[in-house]
Structure 1
Amino acid sequence: MESLYQKANKLLMEVESHISSLGHSYSPQLEQEIEGKLEELFSDIQRLEQMVAKEPPSRKQSAKLRVEQLSYDCQHLHSTLRTFQQKQRLKEKEEHDRNELLSRRFTANDPDTSIMIDHALQHNQSLQNANRGLDDILTSGRNIMGSLRNQAGTLKGVQRRIIDIGNTLGLSNTVMRLINRRSTQDKWIVFGGMIVTCIIMYLVVRYLT
Structure 2
Amino acid sequence: MEGAGGGGTLSEIYQSAKKLLLRSRDGIERLERLQYSTSSGTDSDLSFAIKKDINQIQSLCMEMDRLWRSIAAKSQRDLWKRKVEQVAEEAESLRASLDKYFSRNQKRMKEAKERADLLGRANGDSAHVLRIFDEEAQAMHSVRNSSRELANSTALGEAILSSLSGHRERLKSAQRKALDVLNTVGLSNSVLRLIERRNRVDQWIKYIGILLTVIIVLVIVWWRH
TM-score by length of 2: 0.47
Residue aligning to 1:73: 90
**Partner of 2:49: helix, strand, or coil?**
helix
Counterpart of 1:19, as a letter, is I
User: SS where residue 129 of structure 2 aligns?
Assistant: coil
Structure 1 residue runs of 4+, over 6 Å off?
none
Structure 2 residue identity aligned to 1:74: A
Corresponding residue to 1:52 among 68, 89, 106: 68
Q: Matches of residues 13-92 of structure 1 in structure 2 within 5 Å?
A: 13-26=22-35, 27-58=43-74, 59-92=76-109
Q: Given residue 78 of structure 2, which amino acid in structure 1 is its aligned partner?
A: Q
Q: Which residue in 1 is equivalent to 2:117?
A: 100
Deviation at 1:56, TM superposition (A): 1.6
Query: Between Structure 1 and Structure 2, how many residues are aligned?
Result: 109
Aligned position for 2:184: none
State the one-letter code of the partner of 1:8. Answer: A
| Other-structure match for 2:178 | none
Question: Gaps (5+ residues) in structure 2?
Answer: 1-9, 36-42, 131-225
- The C-alpha deviation readout for 1:109-151, integer Å capped at 9, x for no partner, is 9xxxxxxxxxxxxxxxxxxxxxxxxxxxxxxxxxxxxxxxxxx
In structure 1, the gaps of 5 or more residues are: 110-209
Partner of 2:164: none
Superposed counterparts of 1:129-144, under 5 Å: none
**Deviation, structure 1 residue 48:** 0.5
CA distance in 1, matches of 2:63, 2:15: 13
Q: Secondary structure at the match of 2:71?
A: coil
Cα RMSD (Å): 1.4
Whole-angstrom distance in 1 between the partners of 2:13 and 2:84 = 11
Cα deviation per residue 1:64-93 (whole Å; 9 max; x = unaligned)?
010011111111111111111101110011
CA distance in 1, matches of 2:31, 2:66: 33
Q: Which amino acid aligns with 2:44?
A: P
CA displacement 1:26-83 (0-9 Å, x = unmatched) = 3000010011111111101110101111112241010101001111111111111111
CA distance in 2, matches of 1:85, 1:56: 43
What SS does structure 2 have at the residue aligned with 1:11?
helix
Structure-2 residue corresponding to 1:149: none
Identity of aligned residues (%): 21
Matched, 1:11 2:20: yes
In the TM superposition, residue 108 of structure 1 has moved relative to its aligned partner by 3.5
1:10-34 deviation digits (Å, cap 9, x = unpaired): 1001000000000001300001001
Q: 1:54 aligns to what SS in structure 2? A: coil
Distance in 1, Cα, partners of 2:32 & 2:114 = 23
